[in-house]
Amino acid sequence: METDPTRMCEMLVDLLDVNVLGVESRHREFVTVHFECRRVVVGCPECGVLAQVKDRRRIELVDLPMNGRPTRVVWHIRRFFCPDELCPTGSWSEVDTRSGFARLLITDRAGRWLTRQIGENGRSVQEIANELGCDWHTVNDTLLRYGEALVDDDPTRVGLVEALGLDEVLFVREGEYHRQCFSTQIVDVECGQLLDVVPGRSGAAPTQWLLAQGEQWLAHVRYATLDLSGPYRSVFNKTVPRATQVADPFHVIKLANLKLDECRRRVQNELFGHRGRKHDPLYRTRLLLTKADERLSDNGREKLMGLLNAGDPKGEVLATWRAKELVRGLYDHHDPDLALEFVQRLGNDLQESELPEEARSLGRTLLRWKNQIAAWHEAHVSNGPTEAVNNLIKRVKRVAFGFRSFRNYRIRALLYAGKPNWSLLADITPR
């Protein structure tokens, strides 16, 4: 047991070689602890002569909560000068990185702690700011500087990738008109690691990112998964021309559902002259329609057919619903050769002139992407990991209530889903 008062103070504040100069307890809210570094003898860096203290300056920083109370530390930093008149050295201040890094208002240990709380545990910036008793910006600035150091200064975080995926993510609706801001996530589909997030959903930013990884890295990519988007296809054509492109089943089925929805709304409008209302038979089908057929109960199926009878006299919605079910059926096949044949046939069948325009449009898209769609059966790259990454990011967005800044969004997503090496956190230098 320690009974020396100086040592006891050191132990209580958990800092070595400091003198506690005093403690203030404000309004039962904040605790403020005054420190100085205990370094008795300091020599001039130029000539080695014993330096003298010129003055002291104070910096107040946010520290980890002490006994559950927000805590401030005030470092009394000494400024020295060299008493030798012939020595060219001016004055200098003592440096202690524990008192935090330049321009940060938080102690170093609190900075590392909050990076992990928010980055790994997914807590919100506001929640941490409340706990530390400081404002949102102080926490967020600190998070950016430690987080970017952890993610961007570690050259081993992005390893070799065999199955690469590109996916668009809406990260915020901005301003009065809720302008949508998109980003592109670059994912290691095999191990479900978010590699990076780049702005926009055009091909430019992902192309640049991929080319920056170097030829060797690109040569290792065997499969490239994508949604049914032209820009990503040309990114892959340009950067990994030899990789097999695979259409993400999730997006293929999503497209079929989208066409079905378009068809339902058009038929509704033609028949009733207005958008769907609560009691319109077609409006009432909308949830049953998108449900997978085998997941419909007998009752549900009967109800769906009854509603379609009433609201879909030409059978257009029914035909598009069948098309959607056939597209889903694509993924019951396991034979890659049969799969291509199946996509080709389905695409052709959907071109028949008596079918509604939505089904025909679906068929055209299937034909345009038939190789990528069929390749899924050969590659067996599941879209599972991409979806897992998406779910993680959604969680981060929910916690943050949407991001106004791409930089904030990127670092939060990468800390949470990018598998940073947390064991490096203790040694990084914030940016």
Give residues in contact with Zn ion (CB under 5 A).
Answer: 44, 46-47, 49, 82, 84, 87, 89
Residue type at 84 in one-letter notation? D
Query: Whole-angstrom Cα distance, residue 121 to residue 180?
Result: 28
Q: How far is the CB of 1 from Zn ion (least distance, A)?
A: 44
DSSP per-residue string spanning 163-216: EEEEEEEEEEEETTTTEEEEEEEEEETTTTEEEEEEESSSSHHHHHHHHHT-HH
366's tokens: 């299937």
Nearer to Zn ion, 87 or 399 (CB): 87
Measure the CA–CA gap between 227 and 182, rounded to whole angstroms: 15
Cα angle value 119/124/130 (rounded, 5°)? 120
Q: Tell me how far, at minimum, the Cβ of 83 lies from Zn ion, in Å.
A: 8
* CA–CA distance, 199 with 183 (Å, rounded to integer): 4
Residue closer to Zn ion (CB basis): 43 or 230:
43
- Locus of tokens 């329609």: 289
Shortest approach of Zn ion to residue 87 CB, angstroms? 3
Between 44 and 319, name the residue whose CB sits nearer to Zn ion.
44
Residues paired with residue 168 on neighbouring β-strands, in sequence order: 184
Q: Which is nearer to Zn ion, 41 or 287 (CB)?
A: 41
DSSP letter for 43, please. Answer: B
Distance (Å, whole) CA 339 – CA 255: 18
Are the C-beta atoms of residues 95 and 55 closer than 8 Å to each other?
no
Shortest CB 40 distance to Zn ion, Å: 18
Q: Which is nearer to Zn ion, 39 or 395 (CB)?
A: 39
Nearest-angstrom CA–CA distance, 354 and 361 = 13
In whole angstroms, how close is the CB of 121 to Zn ion at the nearest point? 49
CA angle 293, 299, 303 (to 5 degrees): 80
**Minimum CB distance to Zn ion, residue 48 (Å):** 7
Least distance in Å: CB of 156 to Zn ion?
43
